[in-house]
Amino acid sequence: MTQKPRPSSPLALAVLALLFERPMHPYEMAATLKQRHKEDSIKLRYGSLYTVIELLLARGLIAAKETSREGRRPERTVYALTMAGCDVLLDWMRDLLRHPVKEYPQFEAGLCLLPVLPPDEAVALLRDRALHLAGMAAHLQVQLSEMAGQDLSVIAGAQEVPARLAGRKFPPLFSVEAEYRLALIKAEHAFVNELVRRVVEDGWGPADLWRDIQAAAAKQHESRLQERTAKEPLM
């Protein structure tokens, strides 16, 4: 029997991981992800969440455990992880941690097409980016410090904290993705500043080639504009 490919959505991975902890209904899944700031790393939309749940149900990776209703509220279905779902979750996590994959960041796309903009404008834009990155790094650093000072019960929510963990501060295990994000922001900030310095001080590019490309492009645009103007009927 051919095994179905596992889902590719990070949100599907998050659902499996939440149900690895305990059975939950969709609203609790979303609330838990937000409470733990996981939506900063995994895009969370309620519509997408229900679509992912339906997909995981169809593939037998999760199963409906029970349905309940409180007052006039709509029925809530509690889902649990199946054995197959647990196997997929563990294999998926091992692959993510072991194997680097090629990603396509938008900033990298901009860098690979850098000659489209004049050197002076590119430098100004990169300086603006460096300021934004510095602000992002400072904000994230404050957020991490605040999280480190919180009691573990904050992320537990309605779930009871085990007695041996009562009173403990927020473990870094639960915010390691923010540390990773901070490291990336700092690395990008250093790269951008160094790139600006090289362009300004060292004529990196080289700058004369860069300006030649701009001049040739400007000449081509001017020629096309003149051709279009010549073809326009006189009023």
Per-residue model confidence (pLDDT) at position 159: 61
> Rounded CA gap, 84 and 86, in Å?
5
**SS3 assignment, position 216:** helix
Q: 119 burial class (0-12, 13-18, 19+ CB within 10 angstroms)?
A: buried
Per-residue model confidence (pLDDT) at position 147: 84
For residue 95, what are the contacts with CB-CB under 8 A and spacing of at least 6?
none
Per-residue model confidence (pLDDT) at position 71: 62
Q: Cβ of 56: how many Cβ atoms within 10 Å? A: 24
> Given the structure tokens 């969440």, which residue do they identify?
49
Per-residue model confidence (pLDDT) at position 1: 46
With 0.85 as the threshold, say if the pTM is over it.
no
CB 62 within 8 A of CB 15: yes
Per-residue model confidence (pLDDT) at position 235: 58
Q: Cβ of 207: how many Cβ atoms within 10 Å? A: 15
pLDDT per residue, tens digit, the chain (235 aa), is 455 677 889 999 999 999 999 999 999 999 999 988 899 999 998 889 999 999 999 999 999 998 876 666 677 899 999 999 999 999 999 999 999 999 999 999 999 999 999 999 999 999 999 999 999 999 999 999 988 887 776 665 556 666 666 667 778 888 899 999 999 999 999 999 999 999 999 999 999 999 999 989 888 887 777 777 767 665 5
The DSSP result for 138-169, as a single string, is HHHHHHHHHHHTSBTHHHHTTSPPPGGGTT-B
Both tokens of 75, joined, read 């029925």
For residue 159, what are the contacts with CB-CB under 8 A and spacing of at least 6?
22
**SS3 assignment, position 59:** coil
> Rounded CA gap, 116 and 199, in Å?
15
